[in-house]
């Protein structure tokens, strides 16, 4: 496994996103299956595990803590605050809430430390910028957690270059995490350059395009609660148009001699040494497939073909619906 820098941490070039084991893509896997997956990832050289208070409303952090706390010295642990489940109506039902107030961030961190069974979180992200709270206030609260020894470093998720610079002026930002893949190029507008300028790592989630770049998906067979059902790119019209990109894409994977998922992740690894993909999965065979991308070498001609085939102009549909777009702070193409 290649190694890359995540701030002061040396980690596997490919990490593991820990959302899929309990959240977003249908029914969660069993606790035993999740534990096997996490331990398999560690055994296969993954040293960067990424979770969040939001994922399963604490379930992902709990699973990571149970499975990996005995091996805490062997990996870099990242989690997120600022977006979590809250019992708003007082009826026991949790709903997703974005809340970047300092008191909330402190409380979320304390709860995360207990679930993760650790004394310190290596990299703690603001999952979303709460636009009702100045970014300087939220980052200031996180810097207090650094001084208190609760977290080691600070990250931001789904923010613009301008917001990154404002935050970095308060406290060094170790990483920015945003969706980035062949079919989501928004970071190329400004954030990637800002990260290079500031010495901030860029952590790319959804590197295989919500599974699209792994092969054809029949949306009608997805679980009713699968988040892709509400994403514009998977609507019938857009999905039909996007499926036309897959045959030439699969042909390139055949030419390279790798799987489609490996091609997508390898493309990301070739975009810069400061880029760290974190594909998520709940299956051990997919985990092994994803990690194999570390060995895939792409020549300049192949990179040119991929860039021309799948990009912001050839993909149909927005990556998020209107509500989700309002919640993020990332730049968008005109």
Q: How far is CA 39 from CA 33, 65, 207, 279, in A?
A: 10, 12, 22, 16
How far is residue 210's CA from residue 214's CA, in Å, rounded to a whole number?
A: 9
User: Which of 182, 177, 199 minimizes the C-alpha distance to 274?
Assistant: 199
How far is residue 328's CA from residue 24's CA, in Å, rounded to a whole number?
A: 18
Instruction: Report strand pairing: 275-277 vs 3-6.
Output: unpaired
Cβ atoms of residues 242 and 313 within 8 Å: no
- The DSSP H or E segment spanning 192 is helix 191-198
User: Which of 264, 262, 258 minimizes the C-alpha distance to 310?
Assistant: 264
Instruction: Report strand pairing: 121-126 vs 76-81.
Output: parallel
Give catalytic status of residue 55 as yes or no: yes
Instruction: Identify the active-site residue in 25, 55, 249, 320.
Output: 55
Dig out the tokens for 305 from the structure: 């073909």
DSSP per position, 301-321? HHHHHHHHHSSTTTS-S-SS-
Cβ atoms of residues 127 and 80 within 8 Å: yes
Greatest alpha-carbon pair distance for the chain in Å reads 58
Dig out the tokens for 126 from the structure: 């603001």
Q: What is the set of active-site residues?
A: 55
């Amino acid at each position: 496994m290649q190694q890359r820098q995540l701030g002061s941490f040396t980690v596997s070039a490919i990490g593991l996103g820990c959302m899929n084991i309990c959240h977003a893509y249908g029914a969660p896997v069993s606790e035993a299956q999740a534990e096997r997956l996490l331990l398999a990832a560690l055994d296969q050289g993954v040293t960067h595990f990424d979770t969040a208070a939001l994922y399963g409303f604490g379930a992902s952090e709990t699973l990571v803590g149970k499975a990996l706390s005995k091996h805490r010295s062997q990996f870099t642990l990242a989690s997120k605050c600022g977006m979590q489940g809250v019992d708003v109506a007082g009826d026991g039902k949790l709903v997703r809430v974005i809340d970047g107030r300092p008191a909330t961030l402190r409380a979320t961190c304390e709860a995360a430390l207990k679930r993760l069974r650790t004394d310190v979180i290596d990299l703690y992200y603001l999952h979303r910028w709460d636009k009702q709270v100045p970014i300087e206030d939220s980052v200031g609260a996180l810097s207090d957690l650094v001084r208190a020894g609760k977290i080691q470093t600070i990250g931001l998720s789904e923010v613009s270059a301008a917001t990154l610079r404002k935050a970095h002026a308060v406290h060094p930002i170790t990483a920015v995490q945003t969706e980035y893949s062949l079919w989501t190029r928004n970071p190329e507008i400004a954030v990637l350059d800002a990260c290079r300028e500031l010495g901030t790592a860029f952590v790319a989630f959804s590197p295989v395009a919500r599974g699209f770049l792994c092969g054809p998906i029949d949306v009608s067979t997805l679980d009713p609660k699968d988040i892709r059902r509400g994403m514009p790119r998977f609507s019938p019209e857009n999905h039909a148009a996007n499926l036309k990109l897959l045959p030439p894409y699969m042909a390139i994977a055949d030419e390279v001699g790798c799987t489609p998922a490996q091609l997508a992740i390898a493309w990301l690894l070739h975009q810069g040494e400061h880029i760290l993909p974190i594909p998520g999965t709940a299956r051990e065979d997919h985990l092994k497939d994803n990690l194999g991308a570390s060995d895939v070498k792409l020549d300049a001609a192949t990179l040119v073909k991929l860039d021309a085939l799948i990009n912001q102009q050839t993909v149909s549909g927005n990556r998020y619906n209107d509500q989700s777009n309002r919640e993020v702070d990332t730049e968008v193409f005109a």
